[in-house]
Amino acid sequence: MRALLVVNPQATATTAAGRDVLAHALASDVKLDIVETDYRGHAADAAARAVVDGYDLVVAHGGDGTVNEVVNGVLREGTQPGLPMLGVVPGGSANVFAGALGLPRDPVEATYRLLQAIEHGTSRKVSLGHVTAAGTGADHARWFTFNAGVGWDADVVAGVEEQRAKGRQASPSLYAQTALTSYFSQRRRRSTLTVKIPDEPAFEDVRLAFVSNTDPWTYLRDKAIRLNPSTSFDGGLGLFALHGVGLPTVLRYVTHLLATDGNPKGGNLLRRDDVEYVRVTSPEPVNLQVDGDLLGTCTEVEFTGVTGALTVAV
């Protein structure tokens, strides 16, 4: 088996020693090549090249951003037979995709699990989400592995990226501060989003829309945040959208999500599971995030679920 190991040396929990242990372990079972990323998009380019060169396995070692890039590289020309299998060894802070797959979030344990999957030939097909967006002078297309959204969460991602560009380190406290600032900014705006899902009338005056490809939506340290508990890698997309962001509404949902295992309900909430697509439009440009990465702004975006898009070693 030919395998490519794609390592992001800047990921939170990635170390040179850990990379060497992982590489040594993999090299005992496969013919291994290694790429260390040094620019944004490098992981995607390396994975796309691995498809052309006929690799059997591409292993992403880094955070969810690295996994997203590798997936987008493997699927650069779309879903097709003969694509390499994906392996994941977490090296970030949240590692949502690995957690949703039931993989260990510890890199050493995940390496052992990957070696077992290679030895025994165990894998599974996973459904993914695909985003196409337009409306602000540039079209965007991107695969996502666990969530995407427009509105509040995308504004938080944009705010954190702005702070990181100024030299601040990403941390739970930075995300919390940015979320609070973005919340008050959201409250000053009018509701502009229109959401359309199959076989239902359009929902207007929506404040924010989160789309999930699996459960959980994310992790807060070790706490799984479950917006759509019935959404999984075996089905369609989950939608969580709010008509209002008044303080009582937000506090009720935040408290519920932190104190329970999800399944939120309420009059201001539009929630659906296993839908084929979600289309969101806005008369004004809004931020769009994909797997925690800011994709840009748009006035029109469609999220589509693609069944069995990728094979993952588990």
pLDDT at residue 267, as a whole number: 78
Q: Which structural domains are found in the chain, ordered by start? A: 2-121 (3.40.50.10330), 128-309 (2.60.200.40)
Residue 312 in 3-state DSSP? strand
What single-letter DSSP state applies at residue 121? T
pLDDT at residue 191, as a whole number: 66
- What pTM, to 2 d.p., does this model score? 0.92
pLDDT at residue 138, as a whole number: 56
Query: Helix/strand/coil (H, E, C) string of 27-92?
Result: HCCCEEEEEECCCCCHHHHHHHHHHHCCCCEEEEEECHHHHHHHHHHHCCCCCCCCCCEEEEEECC
Residues of the chain with pLDDT under 70: 136-139, 187, 191
Find the DSSP H helices in the chain: 16-27, 42-52, 64-74, 96-100, 107-120, 152-165, 172-187, 247-259
73-110 per-position pLDDT tens digit: 999 999 999 999 999 999 988 899 999 999 998 999 99
